[in-house]
């Protein structure tokens, strides 16, 4: 069943937003305006390959050193002697002058450096939408003018059917500034993890087909297992109310909620955006979650920490918790540490809802920016070729994910990649003494766009259990199309930025109050709608629809 309302994620400048802004064109110009191709001359072609193309291994014709803004992840602190740096230097003639920034400070310091004109050549780990604030300042490169120097990127866009998505990233000047991570297949990771033994005790062996059936199963599990406090006690809810659960539910209710909440939602039938937080569909999601708590199926402690929720699950006080394809390993390890290593758990298949069986729109993920001043460097063309090879070629993506054949992995006769036994990654070789990211620098978000690349490569890092679950979700659900881009100009962005923040805060506060019963949905929803109007909901939507019509 197809859904007829599509999401515009954003206009808030938050991570994972794909925002459209009109502004002055930044970066070099040949005077032609718009998104006309720009030519790189000999003076900026030092180290560049003359025959670089799809399938070509990039190796600079002479050593080049690129400046790199590096997000230093707490789980794998950067090491100068990592294999990834050694091989880039020895095999590809590339070294980096790094600006290392701790993960907790990365977004803030990145913005300061870009805004002050002190950004590095490569600005890593950047989500679409966050670039909009810098366009008018001319500090980031309108990279679409140079796509002709990025053959692997162009090939992936064509082969994976992403041209429409890419065009949606154009700003009002017709240019694209953010290089996104690309996915061949939709990203599906999050669902609900259940205790199979407690489900079976209730006579339940099949996953719920719908979210209504999921509630029925929770109540049956509680009745069959009176020792548990609640059938479900959820995590990822201290910062955003039921952040993961609501986002997973909402996609099959024709709206956005939880982590994925956005104030704007595209009504395809009407051909315009509506204010998401007061739609009938959003109310249905909120009412559903409130009903789980009212029925005693869901723990009302919706501000608890992840550790508190996880401990309830491990100790047997709950039978279900939000999770993803990575947390299965976390939960199993905690069960083992608690002396309960044989507890069977699994991710349930995504239940359908009133809007059908869907996956969120979009196959772009975090990527990178290139500073405008990089175009003035003698190695500019080589830099574009390197970025194209590392982030978008099959060979470069495999290198960034798996490392080097013979050093970190081997290849079976059928082509299957096999991680060395003494190296661990996620659920592969769990407990091995070395980590692929922390000890070698591979599977590193700086060099591998988050959750991106080919289906083969993504699946190659999965266990059989996760691969089978993922395939099932991809086969059973339809990915929603991407909403059209509303291209706000600089003045409109300034006008709406404050509205976006205060409206999002108000919606999230009301959502928590309705779900916990502090406010009555039946009695106070109209008052809530009036509150959002007073905060500028109509003004926000009118501005965005005006920009959409202009575009």
Q: Where are the beta strands (DSSP E) in 183-239?
A: 191-195, 230-232
- Residues 413 and 402: their CA atoms lie apart, in Å, by 17
Query: How many alpha carbons lie under 13 Å from residue 250 in its C-beta half-sphere?
Result: 28
| Parallel, antiparallel or unpaired: strands 230-232 and 318-323 | parallel
- Residues 229 and 319: their CA atoms lie apart, in Å, by 9
Fold of 64-186+362-401+436-479: D-Maltodextrin-Binding Protein; domain 2 (3.40.190)
pLDDT in tens, 385-429: 999 999 999 999 999 999 999 999 999 999 999 999 999 998 789
Structure tokens at 489: 């100009």
- Residues 52 and 373: their CA atoms lie apart, in Å, by 23
Given a contact cutoff of 8 angstroms between Cβ atoms, the answer to whether 482 and 6 are in contact is: yes
DSSP 298: B
The SS3 assignment for 469 reads helix
Exposed (0-12), middle (13-18) or buried (19+): which is 318, by Cβ within 10 Å?
buried
With a cut of 50, list the residues of the chain below it in pLDDT: 1-33
Helix 280-294, helix 490-516: angle, nearest 10: 30
So what's the pLDDT on residue 14?
Answer: 33
So what's the pLDDT on residue 12?
Answer: 35
Mention every residue, 6+ apart, whose C-beta is less than 8 A from residue 475.
none
Given a contact cutoff of 8 angstroms between Cβ atoms, the answer to whether 235 and 309 are in contact is: yes
Fold of 191-357: D-Maltodextrin-Binding Protein; domain 2 (3.40.190)
Give the distance from CA 402 to its chain's centroid: 21
Mention every residue, 6+ apart, whose C-beta is less than 8 A from residue 11.
17, 19, 129, 262, 263, 264, 486, 488, 493, 496, 500, 544
Given a contact cutoff of 8 angstroms between Cβ atoms, the answer to whether 359 and 251 are in contact is: yes
What is the pTM assigned to this prediction?
A: 0.85
191-357 and 64-186+362-401+436-479 share a CATH fold? yes
Task: Please report, for the chain, the start and end positions of each structural domain, with discontinuous segments joined by +.
Answer: 64-186+362-401+436-479, 191-357
Dihedrals phi, psi of 443, to nearest 5 degrees = 50, 45
């Amino acid at each position: 069943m197809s859904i007829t309302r599509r999401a515009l994620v954003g206009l808030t400048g938050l991570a994972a937003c794909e925002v459209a802004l009109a502004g002055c064109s930044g970066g070099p110009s040949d005077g032609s305006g718009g998104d006309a191709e720009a030519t790189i001359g000999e003076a900026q072609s030092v180290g560049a390959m003359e025959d670089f193309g799809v399938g070509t291994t990039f190796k600079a014709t002479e050593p080049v050193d690129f400046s790199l803004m590096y997000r230093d992840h707490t789980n794998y602190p950067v090491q100068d002697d990592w294999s990834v740096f050694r091989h880039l230097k020895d095999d590809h003639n590339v070294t980096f002058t790094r600006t290392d920034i701790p993960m907790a400070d990365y977004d803030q310091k990145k913005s300061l450096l870009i805004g002050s004109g002190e950004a590095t050549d490569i600005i890593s780990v950047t989500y679409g939408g966050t670039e909009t604030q810098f366009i008018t300042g001319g500090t980031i490169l309108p990279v679409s003018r140079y796509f002709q120097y990025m053959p692997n990127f162009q090939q992936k866009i064509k082969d994976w059917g992403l041209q429409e998505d890419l065009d949606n990233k154009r700003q009002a000047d017709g240019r694209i500034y953010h290089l996104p991570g690309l996915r061949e297949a939709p990203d599906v990771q999050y669902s609900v993890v259940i205790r199979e033994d407690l489900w079976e005790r209730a006579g339940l062996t099949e996953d719920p087909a719908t979210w209504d059936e999921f509630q029925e199963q929770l109540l049956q599990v509680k009745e069959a297992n009176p020792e548990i406090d609640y059938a479900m006690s959820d995590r990822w809810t201290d910062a955003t109310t039921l952040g993961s659960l609501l986002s997973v539910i909402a996609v099959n209710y024709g709206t956005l909620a939880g982590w994925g909440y956005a104030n704007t939602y595209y009504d395809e039938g009407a051909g315009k955006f509506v204010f998401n937080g007061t739609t009938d569909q959003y109310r249905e999601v909120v009412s559903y979650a409130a009903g789980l708590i009212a029925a005693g199926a869901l723990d009302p402690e919706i501000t608890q920490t992840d550790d508190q929720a996880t401990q309830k699950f491990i100790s047997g006080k709950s039978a279900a918790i939000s999770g993803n394809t990575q947390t299965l390993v976390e939960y199993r390890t905690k069960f083992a540490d608690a002396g309960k290593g044989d507890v069977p758990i699994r991710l349930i298949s995504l239940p359908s809802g009133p809007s059908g069986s869907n996956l969120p729109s979009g196959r772009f993920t975090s990527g990178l920016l290139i500073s405008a001043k990089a175009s003035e460097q003698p190695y500019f063309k080589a830099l574009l070729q390197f970025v194209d090879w590392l982030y978008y070629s099959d060979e470069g993506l495999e290198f960034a994910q798996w490392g080097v054949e013979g050093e970190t992995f081997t290849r079976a006769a059928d082509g299957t990649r096999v991680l060395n036994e003494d190296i661990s990654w996620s659920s592969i070789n769990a407990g091995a003494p070395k980590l692929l990211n922390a000890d070698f620098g591979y599977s590193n978000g700086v060099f591998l766009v988050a959750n991106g690349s080919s289906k083969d490569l993504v699946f190659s890092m999965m266990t059989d259990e996760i691969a089978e679950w993922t395939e099932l979700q991809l086969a059973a659900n339809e990915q929603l199309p991407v909403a059209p881009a509303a291209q706000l100009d600089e003045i409109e962005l300034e006008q709406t930025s404050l509205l976006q923040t205060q409206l999002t805060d108000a919606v999230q506060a009301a959502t928590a109050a309705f779900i916990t019963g502090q406010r009555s949905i039946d009695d106070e929803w109209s008052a809530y709608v009036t509150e959002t109007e007073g905060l500028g909901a109509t003004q926000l939507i009118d501005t965005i629809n005006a920009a959409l019509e202009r575009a």
